[in-house]
Amino acid sequence: MEPGAVLRGRGVSPGRVAAPVVHVAPPLPEPDAETVVAPDEREAEVSAIEWAAVAVADQLRSRTAQATGEARAILDASRLLASDPELVSEATELVRAQGRTAARAVWETSATHEKALLALGGRMAERAADIRDVRDRIIAEILRVDLPGVPERDEPFVLVATDLSPADTATLDGGRCVALVTEQGGPTSHTAIIARSLGLPAVVGLAGALAISEGTTVLVDGERGTVTVDPDEVDVASARAASTVVTFDGRGRLADGTRLPLLANVGGASDAASAAAAQAEGVGLFRTEFCFLGRVDAPTIDEQVEAYRGVLAAFPGRKVVVRTLDAGSDKPLPFANADHEDNPALGVRGLRIARRNPALLDDQLRALARAADAESAEVEVMAPMVATVEEAREFAERCHAAGLDRVGIMIETPAAALLAAELFEVVDFVSLGTNDLAQYTLAADRLLSDLGELNDPWQPAVLRLIGMVGAAGRAAGKPVGVCGEAGGDPALAPVLVGLGVTSLSMTPRALGRVAAALDAVTVEDCRRMAEAAAGAPTAAEARAAVTHAG
């Protein structure tokens, strides 16, 4: 591939890292289908299947005992598959009735189960990887060969594969793997779940990933869903600096003592636990759609209450800002979105789903109110994709009717930014979603790698809109947060503060670096840097202007 080539997949775990590629070894070859086992030798083949299944289940049980959190649950599910009497009985019947070898019988039986799961679609289809993993483990045990898996390296590497088995992804913790790239998989695949829980940037569904030669340095951007082949040294240095975890002491502040709360973006209970361990001061963005992904129908109110309480419990007495369901565009849900929209980024997404299905929003608000009553976190609720004052007013009324007091909105559209003063008359706070604000301001689909330079929060047009919102917030005496990826950029953080932002929310790994950057500047420094950046004609000149102003 050409140096600098940018490949596009689906970002499922944020972060930017650069490291050489290492491929997962290919799966075991398909066992011979021509060999027929003699009748007097078939019981020995049957015994081989039974003993191999037991051995694999024991191995996975051992791994499960060493794992924690979601990794433990995933490994336990694989153990149950290996212990499935139906899989073993079907395979042994093929041996007895048709003379298949033990390895071939397991292969054919697994193929039948895999096909059935793929036909179901959605989350069940993603379980096909579990079947293949257990199949290969049993066959490797039968043939007494080593199973290909995640390689061991002394230096950091980006792991590239067709897909990753649950057992392999669960063993990544503590290794030298710094990012994951797969050709298959979706937002609810085990690769995605484990990557998020371990804080590893990940891009899935990347066509052509295996064509990247082993040893090639790549830059993985888990937010944008891109993989850059042989990036230039400036980008490599930037990514490596960004991937360094700096300890956060739990108190964001400027050099002059001005407080600036640093919060975390989370998608569920395990994310919240990690954020609390990183000493985040609260949650600035709880992405509730991660509790809905992979389902063909909406979760019940009771199911939602349980999921929400898992996040709130991690931050007793502290702020948790909950974003209502943001389905649509790159995160469609079958029960919320149409099967097809010609332009989903400009379609029925976010709060607009309530136009079609008001009960979905009302149920979520009731569930959030119940969860808030059951926990001590300070719950604030905000709606995504607001464009008008009428939308904001109606959302606030529905929240209050459900028993939720603190209500806000996301500023993701230029319309909302331009109406910020009027919006502050009907809501208590706003939070800037810089990813979508850049997309809609520059009219550049954030999923298109060809337009990556336009989807940049350093674009002066985006900075000027943020400045308008900040000014409206100061006039109203109300908070203005940032929960887009821009909030985790140490270079941009002082600029955002100078534009009027009063809190920043980010991936927990970025907390220390952002805190260090803010601790080196005063309020006046921030205002000077903001004026220089917003007054520049281009994104590149905005960056340069801040460097000189600092």
Q: Three-state DSSP class for 202?
A: strand
DSSP calls for 425-458: TT-SEEEE-HHHHHHHHTT--TT-GGGTTTS-TT
Q: For residue 57, which amino acid is it?
A: A
CB 178 within 8 A of CB 93: no
Q: Three-state DSSP class for 34?
A: coil
Task: Please identify which residue in the block is written with the tokens 């500047």.
Answer: 521
H or E segment and range at residue 482? strand 480-482
Of 23, 177, 190, 291, catalytic: 190
| HEC secondary structure over 121-186 | CHHHHHCHHHHHHHHHHHHHHHHCCCCCCCCCCCCCEEEEECCCCHHHHCCCCCCCEEEEEECCCC
Whether 291 is a known active-site residue: answer: no
Backbone φ and ψ for 506, nearest 5 degrees, come out as: -160, 175
- Give the span between the Cα atoms of 131 and 111, in whole angstroms: 8
Alpha-carbon distances, residue 502 vs 109, 123, 222, 416 (angstroms): 58, 39, 26, 18
Closest alpha carbon to 70 in 341, 225, 273: 273
Burial (CB count within 10 angstroms: exposed 0-12, middle 13-18, buried 19+), residue 530: buried
Radius of gyration of the chain (CA): 25
Q: Look at strands 16-23 and 10-13 and give their pairing.
A: unpaired
DSSP calls for 90-131: HHHHHHHHH---HHHHHHHHHHHHHHHHHHH-HHHHHTHHHH
Of 291, 399, 483, 526, catalytic: 483
The DSSP symbol for 331 reads B
CB 548 within 8 A of CB 532: yes
- Give the span between the Cα atoms of 458 and 464, in whole angstroms: 10
Q: Three-state DSSP class for 229?
A: strand
Active site residues: 190, 483
